């Protein structure tokens, strides 16, 4: 029972971290970054590289974020900015980008599934049940990241500007805010978050060049269901992520993999506004 609960919470928090990056990019830039899954994969392989080089595995998290941020900066300049005002084309182009990135990774690392070493092995006893120590740490880190991001967006100047641009870009510009800069920073942070999530996920399962796609789809569905509020995103991640874990554990993992997509599609079909506040 405890195991399932912890699994639910861990899954929900990881989903939240991945989906937050997508949501903030969608809110500020008004596009869906279809390369989001590829950035997650970049972070995952970054973690692989870090341990392969014999570095402290804990370093893989900040390094992954940095890698994601740097690539994100390049992508924003070369692909996203020329397509400002052409959102559907921007989505297509980011999808192509995702393919390009996964091809680079395949060239570099091969197509097979690989396994990364977990920074922390062993289990911890919680309330009479044993649980993987690394999963608990992952949970803690992900929660910290989530809270850190919330602090950034609620407390910092950049966060305030980002929220202003999400609500009314014209008004923000009229107040002298350089919205191009806000868009750029938002994209960079969103990609960094995806990469960080990838690094967190790596020791929990395996890595392969296409691992990011299911995360992208799930994150996208969560964003659609949640509307524009980060709070409803957290709620959606908990409820739908929880459903996924329950179905995987008690029915079949394959069915579980489809749960979020199927549930979200039905919810959106019946209630197009999703969970978002009116």
Partner 1 sequence: MPDAVHASAAAPALEVANLASGYGDSLVIHDVSFTIGCGEIVALLGKNGMGKTTLARTILGFLPPRKGAIVVCGNEMTGSTPDIIARNGVAHAPQEKAIFQDLSVRDNFRLATADDRTFRDGVSRVFAFFPFFEQRLAQKAGTLSGGEQKMLIIARAVMMRPRLMIIDEISEGLQPSVIDRIAHVLRHERETNGTAMLLIEQNVAFALAIADRWAVLKRGEIDDVGAVESGAAASIADHLSV
Partner 2 sequence: MTEESTIASVAPSTPSARAGVERLRRFAAVLGALAILVAAGPFVLDTYLVNTLIRAFHYALVALTVDILWGYAGILTFGQAAFFGIGAYAAALVFTHIGFSPATIALAIALALAAPAFVGLLLGWLSFYPGSTPLYASVVSLAFPIVVTQIIFSGGTFTGSSSGLVGYQVVDFPIEAWFWVAGGGLIVFGALAYVFVKSEMARVLVAIRDNEERCSYLGINTPRVKILLTAALAGIAGLAGFSYANFSAVVAPELTGFVFGTELVIYVALGGRGTLIGPLVGTIGIDVLSSYLSGDLPYVWKLIVGLIFIAVIVALPNGIAPLVEAAWRRLVHTRRATGSERPVGLSSKPVAAVSTATLEIVGVSKSFGSLKVLEGINLTIVDGELVSLVGPNGAGKTTLMRCVSDGRERSSGLVRVNGQDIEIMPPFRIASLGLGRKFQTAGIFESLTVAECLRIACALHDQPSFLRSLEQLALPAAARLVIDATGLAELLSREARFLSHGQKQALELAMVLALEPQIILLDEPTAGLTKAERARIGRVLIDLVAQHRLAVVLVEHDLDFVREISSRVVVLHQGKIVLDGTVADVVGSQIVRNIYLGAGHA
Specify the residue, 134 or 215, whose C-beta has the smaller distance to partner 2. 215
> Rounded to a whole number, what is the largest CA-CA distance in the chain?
59
255 binds partner 2 (CB under 8 A): yes
Return phi, psi of residue 241, to 5°. -65, -40
Name the token pair of 24.
Answer: 């903030």
Whole-number minimum distance, CB 55 to partner 2, in Å? 27
Smaller CB separation from partner 2, 63 or 267: 267
The answer to whether residue 243 forms part of the interface with partner 2 (CB under 8 A) is no
Binding residues for partner 1 (CB under 8 A): 157, 160-161, 163-164, 167-168, 170-179
* Residue 70 buriedness (CB in 10 A; 0-12 / 13-18 / 19+): middle
C-alpha span between 67 and 191 (Å, rounded)? 9
Q: Considering the rule CB under 8 A, would residue 141 count as an interface residue with partner 2?
A: no
Whether the Cβ atoms of residue 194 and residue 36 lie closer than 8 Å to each other: yes
The one of partner 2, partner 1, none whose footprint includes residue 83, by CB under 5 to 8 A per kind, is partner 2
CB of 170 to partner 1, least distance (A): 6
CA distances to 21, 64, 72, 182 from 178, in Å: 21, 28, 19, 7
**Which listed residue (70, 73, 99, 246) binds partner 2 by CB under 8 A?**
99
To the nearest 10 degrees (0 to 180), the angle between helices 36-52 and 87-109 is 20
Question: Which spans of this chain sit near partner 2 (rule: CB under 8 A)?
Answer: 32, 79, 82-83, 86-89, 91-93, 95-97, 99-100, 103-104, 106-107, 111, 210, 213-214, 217, 220-221, 224, 252, 254-255, 257-258, 261-262, 265-266, 268-269, 272, 278
């Amino acid at each position: 029972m405890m195991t399932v609960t912890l699994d639910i919470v861990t899954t929900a928090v990881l989903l939240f971290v991945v989906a937050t990056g997508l949501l903030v990019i969608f809110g500020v830039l008004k596009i869906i970054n279809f390369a989001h899954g590829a950035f997650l994969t970049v972070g995952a392989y970054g973690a692989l590289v870090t341990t392969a080089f014999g570095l402290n595995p804990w370093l893989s998290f900040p390094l992954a974020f940095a890698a994601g941020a740097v690539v994100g900066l390049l992508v924003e300049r070369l692909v996203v900015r020329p397509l400002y005002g052409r959102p559907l084309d921007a989505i297509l182009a980011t999808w192509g980008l995702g393919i390009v990135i996964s091809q680079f990774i395949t060239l570099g690392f091969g197509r097979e599934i690989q396994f990364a070493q977990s920074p922390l092995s062993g289990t911890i006893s919680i309330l009479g049940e044993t649980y993987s120590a690394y999963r608990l740490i992952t949970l803690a880190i992900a929660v910290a990241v989530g809270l850190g991001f919330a602090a950034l967006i609620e407390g910092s100047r950049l966060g305030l500007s980002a929220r202003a641009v999400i609500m009314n870009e014209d008004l923000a510009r009229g107040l002298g805010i350089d919205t191009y800069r806000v868009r750029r920073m938002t994209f960079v942070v969103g990609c960094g978050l995806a990469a960080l999530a990838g690094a967190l996920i790596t020791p929990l399962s395996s890595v392969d060049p296409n691992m990011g796609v299911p995360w992208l789809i799930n994150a996208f569905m969560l964003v659609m269901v949640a509307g524009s509020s980060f709070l409803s995103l957290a709620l959606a991640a908990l409820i739908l992520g929880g459903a996924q874990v329950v179905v995987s554990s008690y029915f079949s993992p394959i069915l579980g993999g489809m749960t979020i997509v199927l549930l979200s599609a039905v919810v959106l079909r019946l209630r197009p506004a999703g969970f978002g506040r009116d």
